[in-house]
């Protein structure tokens, strides 16, 4: 029962972040759409730098594990940027359509 509640809360949180990102991306100020991707990027940098590596790991293993962790932690960042780009492109198309109607 507790696992089901956790999954439902996680899905609701994910949906809220997606809706918030879409809302911020559609605002006239372009900078608002970059807030959540920026926060996600900072969290990914901190997460990658705080990753545990065994004391007997070689330098190349440490670098590889930090880079892989950074890539893994940036998947949400890329998703948020994609939402931003799709939202802004939709806004641009709407403006072009309005201009065409006004030209007629």
How is the chain split into domains, by residue range?
2-103
Which residues, including other chains, have CB under 8 Å from residue 40's CB and lie 6 or more apart? 74, 76, 77, 80
**Range 9-30 average pLDDT:** 94
pLDDT band of residue 64 (cuts 50, 70, 90) is very high
**pLDDT value of position 97:** 65
The first and second tokens of residue 44, run together, are 């990914």
- Does the pTM surpass 0.75? The reply is yes
């Amino acid at each position: 029962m507790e696992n089901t509640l956790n999954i439902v809360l996680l899905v609701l949180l994910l949906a809220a972040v997606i809706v918030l990102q879409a809302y911020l991306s559609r605002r006239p100020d372009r900078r608002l759409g970059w807030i959540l991707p920026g926060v996600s990027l900072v969290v990914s940098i901190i997460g990658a730098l705080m990753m545990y590596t065994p004391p007997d790991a070689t330098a190349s293993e440490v670098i590889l594990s930090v880079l892989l962790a950074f890539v893994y932690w940036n998947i949400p960042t890329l998703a948020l940027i994609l939402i931003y780009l799709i939202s802004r492109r939709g806004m641009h198309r709407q403006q072009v359509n309005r201009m065409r109607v006004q030209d007629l």
